[in-house]
Amino acid sequence: MTNYLKNLKNSKTCRAALLKKVIGVLAIIAANLGYFEGMVSPQTFATISGVIAIALGLHDYYLRTITTEALDKK
């Protein structure tokens, strides 16, 4: 556990991966509770879901860029 916390403190990639995990868990919880579906119209819910999917895709690209930069410097 201490190694994980040390890596989390020192690595941008580890922090970004943790952020993605947290966002994914929150999205699953929100979808299962149906909270947002009842609060907004179906079209708005679909738009928000699409924006979240795009944001997660951009985050994946960011993780790949960070990892590739680190390998290129070696």
Q: According to the model, what pLDDT value does residue 37 have?
A: 67
Average pLDDT, the chain: 78
- Greatest alpha-carbon span in the chain: 51
* 73 has pLDDT over 70: no
- Which of 13, 7, 10, 6 is closest to 70 using CA atoms? 13
Query: For the chain, what are the domain ranges?
Result: 12-73
Mean pLDDT of 2-9: 79
pLDDT per position as a tens digit, 18-47? 888 888 888 788 777 776 667 778 788 788
What is the Cα–Cα distance from 1 to 35, expressed in whole angstroms?
34
> With a threshold of 0.75, does the pTM exceed it?
no
Mean pLDDT of 44-51: 83
